Structure 1
């Protein structure tokens, strides 16, 4: 029936349906959009289209306002900080993956013979190909600086 997968980010709901799902008046959703609290997608005719994530955020705005007594400026700041924390968390994950990759690369040791061939080897060992060569063959071993 549908060509695309539907997820929490897919903008499906017109403003009246979103307002019903969030338990608010449509005019409240328009006000929240103007204030930047919840920014729905726009349809080609410029009509607002809300996703499931937008509905959840509308409910969170309502909860902060009614239950915790936070004003709209405070809610905007809270939402901005939460988004910043999420973005920083993703960046930390990226950096951890990069560090793990660099550490993995730092464990590799390479050996090069006079013939110019390069092979990976383990610490304290000559590569198998190098063992059978003549005594005059030079062996150079290097390792990148350790990542701390």
Structure 2
């Protein structure tokens, strides 16, 4: 059985080992709202694979000299960018669907117009039994 990235399964000691951080550091990050794990029934923290990746990102940023307030802002902005990317993708799909529908309607209208103009010529051609050449009016 494959677990989702967001499934809260790791206790704090395992998460600390996987992230390379001290458990007390993980508790501090939770208090600051940097990485907020899920909670078990007994209120114990349960970290997901996504939380572990976020902890590693926090560790990388702080090692590069970014303070915790800056890290929090960076993480918030990354979440916002991800949400905006998802919304742009949704709107692009909507637009593609709308353009396709409009294109189909335009082609159907052109076909009907052509068909109607040909329908008008058929009775005339049968009555005269002559060759009819249809030329559009010059504009």
TM-score in terms of structure 1 length: 0.72
2:8 to 1, 8, 11: 11
C-alpha distance in 2, partners of 1:121/1:69?
Answer: 62
1:89 to 66, 76, 85: 85
Give the structure with the higher percent strand.
1
Paired position in structure 2 for 1:78: 74
Which ranges of structure 2 fall in alignment gaps of 5 or more residues?
Answer: 124-139
Give the structure with the higher percent helix.
2
Paired position in structure 2 for 1:114: none
Deviation at 1:122, TM superposition (A): 5.4
Query: After TM superposition, what 4+ stretches of structure 1 lie above 4 angstroms from structure 2?
Result: none
Aligned length: 119
Which one has a bigger Cα radius of gyration?
2
C-alpha distance in 1, partners of 2:115/2:46?
Answer: 65
RMSD of equivalent CA atoms: 2.3
Which ranges of structure 1 fall in alignment gaps of 5 or more residues?
Answer: 111-119, 136-148
